[in-house]
A and B are shown apart, each in its own frame.
Chain A
Amino acid sequence: MLSTLQPPRSLSLLPLRRFQISKTIVSAASSKTIDTSVISPPQSQILTTRRSLLSGETTAVEIAKSYLSRIRLTEPQLKCFLHVSENVLKDAQEIDQRIAKGEELGPLAGVLIGVKDNICTQGMPSTAASRILEHYRPPFDATAVKKIKELGGIVVGKTNMDEFGMGSTTEASAFQVTANPWDLSRVPGGSSGGSAAAVAARQCMVSLGSDTGGSVRQPASFCGVVGLKPTYGRVSRFGLMAYASSLDVIGCFGSTVADAGMLLHAISGYDRFDSTSSKQDVPEFQSQFLSVDQFGSKPLNGVKVGIIRETLEDGVDSGVRSATQEAASHLEALGCVLTEVSLPSFSLGLPAYYVIASSESSSNLSRYDGVRYGNQVMAEELNKLYECSRGEGFGGEVKMRILMGTYALSAGYYDAYYKRAQQVRTLIRKDFKAALEQNDILISPAAPSAAYKIGEKKDDPLAMYAGDIMTVNVNLAGLPAMVLPCGLVEGGPSGLPVGLQMIGAAFDEEKLLKVGHIFEQTLKGSSFVPPLLANVA
């Protein structure tokens, strides 16, 4: 019913007036050949920024000002940020001073980065969008944030999310609902909806999110940006407010694969403050980001791609299905060898995920007791203090998951729920391993549908949970996956983006980035810029 639409085009990140939004609808399916002559492929904002700073074409302050003004213009409608840093211009000035002094610039110098609100930023509010942490300012930076700052990155602010990462829409934020830049009446996805929407609306160049069951990938799909969920252990979780410790990873958003990849490179690596972080070497991803003219005719020749059969069955919107199939055809055109693979345990993932994630969260959220920090309700008696602080501090979705998790871990139920879910997890790992021994990457839709209306699933948690079906298995297996826009479906003023999920073997983000970058750079008319920006301009 829905046809795949050609995305609107944009030419460059700056200045705004240069954005050209086209509403011409052309079926991408008709253009299987690689032809990049019509629209220039999307440019890395990180590399563009670096070039313009080094050449003296512009200054970090000028760039920062333009982003801040866009935030001022768009934020009233979008509500991506819970907090915008007061130090952006000051940080940018420091970069300019370094340039003036001829000092060496970090690879992220002047890059404006949004940080999801559940990632600790020293002295800057970090609340995980929860009342229980309202006004809380951590005394330390998360390792990922620390690394970003060391490399010259500028934290723009803290992005909205579903409280503690529990949700798929940002509607579960205690403070505000973020709108989708493609259609303000729709959700941006979640839980990292603020980070995804902010990148889509060019309120920042890249952003950090967190992904426990798809919280980076699904909003990336809904907002038409690249979302990269690294292998579990690739990025330190130190400073990430835990939702489900064995599933949580910090992930990256960018408007291009290269940006997401470069941000990932900046934050990756072993951290002695996180014993689950990996000592695996972090390869230099940047060599993968060749320019289009360096590609051969079949740049992905021989790359084996498995399309997961179970992800294209009933329950998936036909537009999403056809966009995925067309993306597969595009990969074939690039030289990939496409096969269909089956993951027999696929459907078991969702219930197992909700048992494990709820169980771990019931424990992880115990520390929010109102005793040492955060929301405290004075009471005559200790249990009342707990009851009221937590009762008033947590939102409905969080309470529901704490209750579910507490139940699942209770004596007498542990074996039936938590232990069984762990067994399922082992099965899922095994199935993925087998499929990835036969294939270099696996592909699937990122979500069963494009962005839906705000409020549409708010009162139907099961329907919302079902939307996570494409992504949760990857977290259970701990694998890296990337979502990148592959097409548009009907909806909103100019179509709604649909993301393609690519899943790789553990610690093989490099391959995802390589395939993703070539896919993105060769996708016909591939600039996914939301119509909102035209209005702003």
Chain B
Amino acid sequence: MSTTLFRTFQPNQFSLLGTSLLRRRRSNNFSVRSCGSQTTTTHEAKQSSPTRVAPKNHKSNKLDEILRDYEAVIGIETHVQLSTLTKAFCSCSNNYGSYPNISICPVCMGLPGALPVLNSKVVEFGVRLGLALNCDLSLKSKFDRKQYFYPDLPKGYQISQFDIPIASGGYVDLDIPLEFGGGHRRFGITRVHMEEDAGKLLHSDTGDYSQVDLNRAGVPLLEIVSEPDMRSGIEAAEYACEMQRIARYLGVSNGNMQEGSLRCDVNISIRPIGQAEFGTKVEIKNLNAFSAISRAIDFEISRQALLYNQGKADEIVTETRLWEEGAQKTVTMRKKEGLADYRYFPEPDLPEVILTKEYVDSIRASLPELPEAKRRRYEAMGLGMQDVLFLANDVSVAEYFDAVIGKGAEVKLAANWIMSDIAAYLKNEKLSINDIKLTPHELAELIAAIKDGTISGKIGKEILFELLAKGGTVKGMIKAKDLVQITDPVEIEKMVIQVVSENPKQLEQYRSGKTKLQGYFAGQVMKMSKGKANPGLLNKILLEKLNAKD
């Protein structure tokens, strides 16, 4: 579940509207962080690759001016697919492969006479997420039927929660990365409710028939509805990112957007700044990456602002639009004619969901430290915001880091090792931090060995890669390879004298002013010491010898 990746930053500037040749107002807002993405997913790598810089043109300034007059109001509905062992209302495996209709039974197929039975893990996960989002929990909630016909919906209704969700009235805190302007934000959470997923339709290439795969039908979801608190694509993407982070911290979902384990639908309207009432709301679907959320919103803001500006505000209609990744634009999917009537009513096949205070308290007590708490703690430890966001981004990395400093390693040094050499190694090897053989304890040992001068930093880096790949102990490796740093000036002096005496030509050149050759001598001495000579001492003694008048 916790395939680990590090936060990377991809600045990408791009043209918004192919036809209108528009650009977004603040250039730093073009950047989208691909966060928590999976290294192995080539799809996302492609999506978040830098996009060509749009040619500057005179119209861009005009759009910037237009955009200055409007404010976007954005809310997000997030569907989190839960990583329970079995489906929400039957005992079918929730871990199905790619072959269609292998994880189905009379219940999730909606056969006559089959009845749903609630998987208690779904409630547990709902409570966990509700608490993590600072919500009030309904000690007595219920399920309702949301009714509509579609071939991927076997019963003709989705079991969901309507008027009494399991959790409501919460909020989420997050930090906007510095490169996007920085700052702390709090976004309201309207509600969290439990429901079941639908199946999937597979359309034939010719388009003359479709097939239904019900493996996903009945898979548990938590839907998180935000307050309309976000104002930009970046804020929305950061919100979605935090939802993924929280889901992964809690272990309720793998949060993988490409697989559809985390799905975001965005509701967006704009209004002239100063206007109290909301504009016409448009829903955007098919947002499969955080970058897509950000870009789709920025596109939509421009589209709507232009329509306003051209006096065509009535062309902004209540509709569902699709984000087209290829074209980098949103297009109409369906216009809504009035509100859909789902004819919700209480699900008579399931009893009410009753939570006791003790149950809620026990879950509260079992919650891990959440991203926001971690970030604040790391910040208090003196780490810069960039480090804080990096380390807290991935729960496995954060846990690793916590374990390293738990073993007494210096905070800043531990952070540097993880963020630089280890991160690079993981990236190259396409591994998660959980895959490496280097235990947090040994990393702490390594840091200590360098700090106390037992080995040089250079040697440290060398053995790091062996430890990462093969494991073992720092002490054992130092001993086996005889890597203890030479700090005895007499011993170093001996080697310096030998090297100097063996290179008379270079010495002469040095003394005639080619002082750059000091590096050459230092290298020779280091080579002779097999890299073990203390570099400070070496250079001090070397200088003395080189400059000595004999």
| Chain B binding surface, main DSSP class | loop
Min distance, Cβ A249 to any Cβ of chain B, angstroms = 13
Q: Which of B151, B343, B344, B351 contacts A275 (CB 8 A)?
A: B351
- For window 82-118 of chain B, which residues contact chain A by CB distance below 8 Å? 106, 109-118
Q: Which of A136, A238, A360 contacts B114 (CB 8 A)?
A: A238
Known: A120-B112, A367-B112. A275 touches B349 (CB 8 A): yes
* Cβ A139 vs Cβ B345 within 8 A: no
Chain A CB within 8 A of B212 CB? yes
Please tell me which stretch of A168-176, A240-248, A329-337, A465-473 contacts chain B, meaning at least 4 of its Cβ atoms lie within 8 angstroms of it: A240-248
Q: Which of B113, B118, B151, B351 contacts A382 (CB 8 A)?
A: B151
Q: From A141, which residue of chain B is reached at the shortest CB distance?
A: B113
Interface bits A370-395 vs B (CB < 8 Å: 1, else 0): 01110000000010001000000000
Roughly how many angstroms separate A414 CA and B344 CA in the complex, as a whole number?
Answer: 9
Min distance, Cβ A176 to any Cβ of chain B, angstroms = 20
Chain B CB within 8 A of A107 CB? no
Chain B CB within 8 A of A326 CB? no
Roughly how many angstroms separate A368 CA and B531 CA in the complex, as a whole number?
Answer: 78
Chain A CB within 8 A of B490 CB? no
Known: A360-B348, A411-B339. A138 touches B113 (CB 8 A): yes
Roughly how many angstroms separate A517 CA and B163 CA in the complex, as a whole number?
Answer: 47
Roughly how many angstroms separate A136 CA and B349 CA in the complex, as a whole number?
Answer: 23
Roughly how many angstroms separate A118 CA and B157 CA in the complex, as a whole number?
Answer: 21
Roughly how many angstroms separate A366 CA and B155 CA in the complex, as a whole number?
Answer: 6
Chain A CB within 8 A of B149 CB? yes
Chain A CB within 8 A of B341 CB? yes
* Cβ B345 vs Cβ A414 within 8 A: yes
Q: From B156, which residue of chain A is reached at the shortest CB distance?
A: A366
Known: A372-B212, A382-B151, A386-B149. A140 touches B116 (CB 8 A): no
Roughly how many angstroms separate A273 CA and B349 CA in the complex, as a whole number?
Answer: 11
Q: From B212, which residue of chain A is reached at the shortest CB distance?
A: A371
Min distance, Cβ A226 to any Cβ of chain B, angstroms = 25
Which A residues are in CB contact (< 8 Å) with B115?
237-238, 242, 273-276
Known: A363-B147, A372-B212, A418-B345. A120 touches B113 (CB 8 A): yes
* Cβ A366 vs Cβ B149 within 8 A: yes
Known: A138-B111, A240-B113, A411-B341. A276 touches B351 (CB 8 A): yes
Chain B CB within 8 A of A272 CB? yes
Roughly how many angstroms separate A438 CA and B109 CA in the complex, as a whole number?
Answer: 47
Interface bits A455-490 vs B (CB < 8 Å: 1, else 0): 000000000000000000000000000000000000
- For window 311-367 of chain A, which residues contact chain B by CB distance below 8 Å? 359-360, 362-363, 365-367
Chain B CB within 8 A of A406 CB? yes
Interface bits A115-159 vs B (CB < 8 Å: 1, else 0): 000111000001010000100101110100000000000000000
Known: A366-B149, A372-B154, A386-B149. A276 touches B113 (CB 8 A): no
Roughly how many angstroms separate A459 CA and B490 CA in the complex, as a whole number?
Answer: 117
Which B residues are in CB contact (< 8 Å) with A244?
348
Interface bits A262-292 vs B (CB < 8 Å: 1, else 0): 0000000000111110000000000000000
Which A residues are in CB contact (< 8 Å) with B116?
275
Q: Give B contacts to A, CB under 8 Å.
A: 106, 109-118, 145, 147, 149, 151, 154-157, 212, 339, 341, 343-345, 348-351
Give 10 CB contacts A-B under 8 Å: A120-B113, A128-B112, A138-B106, A139-B111, A142-B113, A239-B113, A274-B115, A363-B147, A366-B149, A373-B111
